Amino acid sequence: MKSKKQEYKELTDKDLRERLDAEQTELIRTKIYHTTTPLDNSGSIREKRRNIARIQTELRARELKKD
């Protein structure tokens, strides 16, 4: 099984940006849902934040590589 980091390296820039938008939207929804009704697994918020950071890191690395 591939790690998340390896998985993100294989995606195109466009796919990464789409995934980033989806993760951010999902994080916001999860936070709102969590304030009204506690989640069974509150660790999912942490995991979503980390995925967003991984994607942003990969996008930034590609940006610096181009320059």
Nearby residues of 54 by Cβ (< 8 Å), 6 or more positions away: 4, 5, 8
Q: How many Cα atoms sit within 13 Å of 1 on the Cβ side? A: 2
Q: What is the mean pLDDT of residues 11-33?
A: 95
Q: Measure CA 42 to chain center.
A: 16
pLDDT band at 1 (very low <50, low <70, confident <90, very high): low
Which pLDDT score is estimated for 23? 96
| 8: pLDDT strictly greater than 90 | no
Instruction: Give percent of the chain with pLDDT exceeding 70.
Output: 99
CB-CB neighbours of 20 under 10 Å: 18
CA 46, CA 39: separation in Å to the nearest integer? Answer: 12
| 22: pLDDT strictly greater than 90 | yes
Residue at 33: amino acid letter: Y
